[in-house]
Every structure is written in C-alpha cells, then in structure tokens.
C-alpha cells in the first residue's frame, strides 16, 4: 500500500491515524485542510487543484480529508481508503478538547480560535455526519478498496 486515503468527519482522528501510518510505513502524509486553506484564507480552486495534483503525482502518499469531491482523483488512485466511523458523542468531546487545547496554546492551530470557530466545528461535524452515506457511496463508486473503521479497528490497524 503506497497510496492511502483517510476520510472521516471533523474530530474523527484522521490526522492522528495518518501520522501513525506515516511513521509506520515511512510515507509522507498530507492534510488537505492545509491545501484548501492558507491560514484563515481559502485558496482558489485553481491553486487547490495544482497543490493537490502535486501530491498525487508522487509514488507514495497518505492523504487525510473529510471527503471533498474536488479531490476525486486521489480517491480513484488510492490503493486503500479508510473511512473513520466514530459515534457523534465521541466526536463532540474530541472537538471540545481540541478547541480548548488550541485556545490555551497547548496545541498548535492553523486557525485563530474563538467561540465562533467552535461553532463552525460543530456545523462541519453535523454536515459531515449528514453526508456520511453519500460520501461512502461516492467513494465506492470510484474505488473498490474502501474499509470502514470503528475505534477498535483503528487500534488494530495502528498495532498491526
């Protein structure tokens, strides 16, 4: 597996899993939020596609994202796609913990953290959850190598 795509809602652990797999397989990982946004500004679609195409042109990569359709080519090229399926309460708790760590500068943030950012995270979470079935179907239409992971599956994957 040289091309791994990790998809899941905000707070699902995509970044954590991608970093662990990156270290395990010695493959560079990419957070697509950093491709879409430059600090607090959204990049143009042309710039996003250019940066993304540069990533997927490499022989090996680990990509993590929420499942944006603009990145279809990466989904098509992936050797394996993991969709992280975690319950909503766990996601809410993770979002609040992350936000607090970032507000108090315990953890680095690409965004300026305030109460509006927290509400934005919850808005994104609800959107991600409501679109879950559509995202999974969209992936299946473009790649047969989808594995849906729950918390236990993630622990096994990290240890294997």
pTM for this prediction: 0.93
Q: Confirm if 76 and 143 have CB atoms less than 8 A apart.
A: yes
**Rounded Cα gap, residues 24 and 36, in angstroms:** 26
Domains of the chain with bracketed CATH = 3-86+132-159 (3.40.50.300)
**Model confidence over 95-123: pLDDT tens digits?**
999 999 999 999 988 778 999 999 999 99
pLDDT per position as a tens digit, 37-75: 887 789 999 999 999 999 999 999 999 999 999 999 999
């Amino acid at each position: 597996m040289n091309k791994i795509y990790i998809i899941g809602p905000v707070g699902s652990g995509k970044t954590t899993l991608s970093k662990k797999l990156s270290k395990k397989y010695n493959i560079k990982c990419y957070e697509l939020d950093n491709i879409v946004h430059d600090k607090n500004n959204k990049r143009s679609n042309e710039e996003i596609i250019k940066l993304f195409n540069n990533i997927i042109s490499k022989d090996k990569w680990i990509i993590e994202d929420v499942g944006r359709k603009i990145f279809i080519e990466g989904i098509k090229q992936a050797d394996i796609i993991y969709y992280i399926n975690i319950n909503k309460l766990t996601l809410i708790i993770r979002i609040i913990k992350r936000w607090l760590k970032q507000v108090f500068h315990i953890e680095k943030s690409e965004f300026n953290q305030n109460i509006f950012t927290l509400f934005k995270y919850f808005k994104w979470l609800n959107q991600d959850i409501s679109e879950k079935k559509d995202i999974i179907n969209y992936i299946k239409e473009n790649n047969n190598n989808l594995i849906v992971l729950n918390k236990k599956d993630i622990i096994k994957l990290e240890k294997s």
